[in-house]
Structure 1
Amino acid sequence: MLPWEHAAVGYLAYSLWCHVVDRRSPGALEAIAALVGSQLPDLIDKPLSWQYGVFDSGYALGHSIFFAVPVAVGAGLLARTYGRGSVGVALVLGYLLHLPGDLVEDVLREGELVAAPILWPVVTAPPSPEQPVVGVTVELFYEYVDALTAPDPPTFVLVQAGVIVGTALLWLYDGAPVLRELLVGVRRRLGHAVGDATN
């Protein structure tokens, strides 16, 4: 999956969790945690592989279930200890859903399930070439837009775009967390500035 697709799945899962379990919408900190968690495997593995050569493949430590599950459990327990259990749940959902998300991508594109990306170091994925992370991400975005705007877009691209649009609508329904809190902060600062100016 591409970064924006992982982000959509992470937020979607956490928002649904909030609505079903807690009967509320996510807050800003939770939305950010879901987003960070959804990107964490790639933030660990892609730079360490593509740019620094620590791993042979962009699917290594961060994508491994042998690393992800203990890290997720530890992060969840740590967040709960500090009274931020919901932030821990958001981070864990985003992180753990990244792994099957990458597997689903192969199923949708090629019709086969390849588990190597999540079984490192027991099974290793094919080596990745050295490449700049930001440059590749920008290139993937343009390829995604080209595929989406093609006269006959692939089914998997339409499915992915549908998830993104659905998640964006859910985010708006939730009150646009993060943006909502930023706007409230700006209004407060403006109110204080106007109040100070009139005094």
Structure 2
Amino acid sequence: MWPWEHLAFAYVLYSLTTNVILRRSPTARETVAVAVGSQLPDLIDKPLAWTFGITETGYSIGHSIILAPVIYLAVYAVAARWGYRSLAGALSLAHLSHSAGDILNRILRGDPVDIRILLWPIASPPAGTRDGFVDHVLRYFLRYVYLLLVEGLTVQILVQLLLGIGMVVLWVFDGAPIATDLWRLVSTRRQQ
């Protein structure tokens, strides 16, 4: 999945969770936590593999469901210390959605699901090319553009579009967290 797809998937899951279970919309801070959590696995793993060569693939520490509970407990401990427990939940759900999204994306593309992408350090998918970060991103982007131009509207692309529309609809329904807070801040400063 692309970063914006991970964000959309995580936001939809978190918004539905807060609206259905907690009977409220996500706050701006929770939305930021969702944004960070949705990107965290790739922000950890891709540079470790593609830039620094510390791990063999872009699926290791950040994607590991074995290490996830440790990450969630650490995040909760820090958030609880500062009185922001809901942020720990937002970040943890978004982090978990990242790996679920990677698996779902493989299914939608018709690729075989390799559970090893979630099992580091016990297992890890085979090493890919040793290209750098920019080379990887460019290769994936060109492949994506090629698929759009050649294959047109596939199930994967349709799901991406519906996910994006769903995220925007939920974000507006939720009161446009972050944007609304920024608008209030700017409006308040103008009045002063």
TM-score by length of 1: 0.86
The 5 Å alignment of 1:134-173 reads: 136-137=136-137, 140-141=140-141, 143-144=143-144, 147-148=147-148, 152-173=152-173
Count of residue pairs the alignment pairs up: 192
**CA root-mean-square deviation:** 2.1
Partner of 1:76: 76
Task: State the 1:90 CA deviation.
Answer: 0.6
Structure 2: tracts of 5 or more residues without a match: none
Q: CA offsets per residue over residues 143-181 of structure 1, 9 Å max, x none?
A: 545645667321112112211111111111111111111
The 5 Å alignment of 1:42-191 reads: 42-133=42-133, 136-137=136-137, 140-141=140-141, 143-144=143-144, 147-148=147-148, 152-191=152-191
CA distance in 2, matches of 1:184, 1:134: 38
Task: State the 1:111 CA deviation.
Answer: 4.8
The answer to whether the 8 Å contact 1:14/1:94 transfers is yes
Task: State the 1:8 CA deviation.
Answer: 0.7
3-state secondary structure, aligned to 2:83: coil
**Residue 151 and residue 62 in structure 1: after superposition, are their counterparts in 2 closer, same or farther (change >3 A)?**
closer
Q: CA offsets per residue over residues 5-59 of structure 1, 9 Å max, x none?
A: 1101111111112112221111111000001001000000000100110001000
My pick for the range that moved more, 173-182 or 65-74, is 65-74
CA distance in 2, matches of 1:99, 1:27: 24
The answer to whether the 8 Å contact 2:45/2:62 transfers is yes
Partner of 2:6: 6
CA distance in 2, matches of 1:134, 1:29: 31
Task: State the 1:137 CA deviation.
Answer: 4.0
3-state secondary structure, aligned to 2:67: helix
Q: Determine what percentage of the aligned residue pairs are the same residue.
A: 39
Task: State the 1:128 CA deviation.
Answer: 2.9
Structure 1: tracts of 5 or more residues without a match: 193-199
**Residue 139 and residue 128 in structure 1: after superposition, are their counterparts in 2 closer, same or farther (change >3 A)?**
closer
CA distance in 1, matches of 2:185, 2:146: 38
My pick for the range that moved more, 33-42 or 176-185, is 176-185
CA distance in 2, matches of 1:173, 1:98: 23
The answer to whether the 8 Å contact 1:51/1:132 transfers is yes
CA distance in 2, matches of 1:121, 1:139: 27
